[in-house]
Structure 1
C-alpha cells in the first residue's frame, strides 16, 4: 500500500496494530481469569462471545487481520533494518547496546504466532466444527469442562507457559516502543513506560497462572 511506503508510516502502522492486540490481550485475559474465579461466569461469557454476531463476524475477522498484519509488518521492518545497516561492528557488547527482547522481537513474535496456531487448533477450530459442521445444540455449560480438558497434558501446559514467557519479553520492548514510534514524548512518558512494563509482566504471568491452575485442578 502506498500509505506504508515510508519508514515512519510503517512504524506507526506496526505500533497501532500492536496496541490493538494489547487491548485484545487484556480482554482475553479478563474472560479467562474467570475460569479460576467462577466457572459459571466463564461459561456465560464464553457463550456470549461465541454466539454474538458482532464478535463472531466483525471483531473476530478484524482480530485475525490484526495478528497477520502485525507479524508481516514486523518482518518487513526487520528485513529493511538489516538491509539498511552498512556498518559491521567489530565487537558486540550485548545488553550494553540493547536488550535481548529488543534484538529478538522477530524471534519472540514468530514463536507467539506459532503459539496462536496451537491456540486456534485447540479452541477455534473445534468451536467452528461444534457449531457449524456438527450443528450441535446450544450448551452454555460446555466451555469450562472443554477448557479444563485442554490442560490435562503437562506437555501442552508447558508449551503454553513457554509461549507466555516469550510474550512477556515481546511486550516488554514492544508495548513501550509503540508509543515512541507514534512520537509520544512528554511528562507522562516515564509513568507510561512503567505501566507498559507492569502490563508486560502481569498479563503473561496471569495466563501462566491460569494454565497451571487448570492443569493441577483436574
Structure 2
C-alpha cells in the first residue's frame, strides 16, 4: 500500500483497476435492475439469488465495498497530488485548452456520485442488512420488486437519481478511456475502445434513469 501511495504510476494503475472493476459491477447491476422493467418474477429471482448466494454475500460484497472506498480515496489522493504539483502557475498555462471540462472536474462529479452512493446504501443496502441480520425476517423471494418500486415513488428521490446518473455519465466519458489507457490498453484497438467507452458512458446511465422514471410513473 505504501508503494502505491509513493509511486504516481502505481497510483494511476491502482485507480484504473478499481475503476474497471466498478465498471463491470455497474453493468451487472444495470442488467439485473433492467429486468424489473421486463418481468417482476425474473427480477425477484435474480435479486433473491444475489441476496442469498454465499459467494456473492461473503466474498463479492466485501470486495465491492472495498473497491468503492479505495476508488474514491485514491481519487482524492490523486487530486491532492496533482494540485501540489501545480503550485507554480505558469502564465502560458490554460487548463481549458489542454484538457476537457470532464477531466478537470472529475473530483466534483465524483463527490456527487459518492453522495448518491450513500443515498443508495441508505435506500437499499442498509434495509437489506436490517431485514436479514437484525430483524431476522424469513426469506421472501417475492419482496424485491415491491421494495424497488416503493423507493421510486418519491419525486425528490427520483430527481436525485436522475441528476446523479447524469453526472455519472460525464464522469464515465472521461474515466472509461482514462482507466484503460492507464493499464496500457493503447494501439490499434484504441478507436474501438473509445467508441465503446462513449456508448457505455451514455447508455448505461440513461438506462438507470429510464428504470427510475419507469417505476415512478407506473407505481
The whole-number CA distance in structure 1 between the counterparts of 2:115 and 2:25 is: 18
Instruction: Look up the match of 2:119.
Output: 118
Shift of 1:137: 1.2
Structure-1 separation of matches of 2:28 and 2:17 = 17
Q: CA shift at 1:95, angstroms? A: 4.2
Corresponding residue of 1:149:
150
**Counterpart secondary structure, 1:185:** coil
Within 5 Å, give how 1:24-173 maps onto structure 2. Answer: 24-90=25-91, 95-173=96-174
CA, structure 1 residues 162+92, in 2 after alignment: closer, same or farther (shift >3 Å)?
farther
Q: Whole-Å Cα distance in 1 between the matches of residues 9 and 125 of structure 2?
A: 35
Partners of 2:90 and 2:169 in 1: CA distance: 29
CA distance in 1, matches of 2:96, 2:76: 22
SS in 1 for 2:103: helix
Query: Which whole-Å CA distance do the structure 1 matches of 2:92 and 2:145 have between them?
Result: 53
Superposed CA RMSD: 1.3
For 2:206 and 2:107, how far apart are their aligned partners in 1? 21
- Alignment coverage as a number of residue pairs: 218
Give the aligned partner of residue 179 of structure 1. 180
| Secondary structure in 2 matching 1:186 | coil
Specify the SS of the correspondent of 2:178.
helix
The one-character-per-residue Cα deviations of 1:154-190 (angstroms, maximum 9, x if unpaired) are 0000000100001001100001001111222210111
Distance 2:151 2:85 in 1: 45
Partner of 1:213: 214
Secondary structure (helix, strand or coil) at the match of 2:77 reads helix
Residues 87-96 or 145-154, more deviating: 87-96
- Which residue in the other structure is 1:2 paired with? 2
Q: How far apart in 1 are the matches of 2:184 and 2:83?
A: 23
Q: Measure the CA separation in 2 of the matches of 1:94 and 1:2.
A: 31
**SS across alignment from 1:128:** helix
Q: Which runs of 5+ in 2 are unaligned?
A: none
Question: Comparing 131-140 with 156-165, which one deviates more in the overlay?
Answer: 131-140
Query: 1:142 Cα shift?
Result: 0.6
> TM-score, structure 2 length as denominator?
0.96
Tell me how far apart the structure 2 counterparts of residues 154 and 94 of structure 1 sit (CA, whole Å): 38
Q: Give the Cα–Cα distance (whole angstroms) in 2 for the partners of residues 183 and 42 of structure 1.
A: 37
> Separation in 2 of the partners of 1:159 and 1:95?
29
